[in-house]
Amino acid sequence: MIEIKGIIPPIITPMYEDESINYNELRNQINRQIDAGVHGIFVFGTNGESYILNDEEKKEILRVTIEEVGGRVPVYAGTGVPGTKDTIRMSKMAERLGADVLSIICPYFAAASQNEIVEHYKEISNAVDLPIVIYNIPARAGTNISPSSIAELAKVDNIVGAKDSSGNFDNMLQYIELTKDEEFVVLSGNDSLILWNLLAGGVGGIAGCANIYPETLTAIYESFVKGNLKESKEYQDSLRNIRNNFKYGNPNTIVKKAVNLLGYDVGPCRKPFNRLSDEAVKSIQRTLDEDIKRGLK
């Protein structure tokens, strides 16, 4: 059984200027994250630009990731797409390649009812043997998975957890409260709520900013489990400056630009999600300079 816990970066997908995948830099980023102490590698999250990769690219990215990770940490694969049939197809691909955990986003674009969401996940769970982490991100999916739906799905054997990116702490808290009697875990998908997730009984976070500061994000969790709440809160609070830059555009565009400015050749986001103002770039650079002086890494 895979223990789902800690800080799991939704790793960025490095690209060349022509938007082809830079697999050498992907390997470099995987090792950078593992060396920093992360507890898993998650491909095809929002920060990995899953929404704009084709099936063959996803297959090769996952293959390379599993090969490079080499069993050092679990590999999570985001296999959710709007349709149940296609999600099963992508999930079976990930299962064949050797992924450890599936992360499956709520059906998106067309508004799904709670009953449709529950049946979607149940049908997928019957088609695969891997553990499934539900991904709730209403800002992108258009629908919030209700706490009562999570409570029902937590009773399904291989549905083992949920990532809540709603930004609504009460929603995440109800996920935790309503599943406490099940073998089910809850992760924060909002980097600013990782410590609060842990304090409420959650197990960590799938943290986009770990692409920028993997050691700092990991330290939130490690300080917490050692009982040093003051230190954990200091690490948590230290993320505020970089997250304030999200006002300038798409958060994963900001994250990828920041990693580039740190000196890693991860390239641009795919068009059209690749444009930032000069003001934004200067602000990100200024924030990185200030954060590094304060010891973030």
Supply the residues annotated as catalytic: 135, 163
DSSP secondary structure letters along 63-129: HHHHHHHTTSS-EEEE---SSHHHHHHHHHHHHHHT-SEEEEEPP-SSPPPHHHHHHHHHHHHHH--
H/E element holding 161? strand 159-164
**What are 118-127's contacts with CB under 8 Å, separation 24+?**
118/149, 118/152, 118/153, 120/84, 120/87, 121/153, 121/156, 121/159, 122/153, 122/156, 123/84, 123/88, 124/84, 124/87, 124/88, 124/91, 125/156, 125/157, 125/158, 125/159, 127/88, 127/91, 127/92
- The two beta strands, 41-43 and 185-188, are unpaired
- Cα(214)–Cα(290) distance, integer angstroms: 17
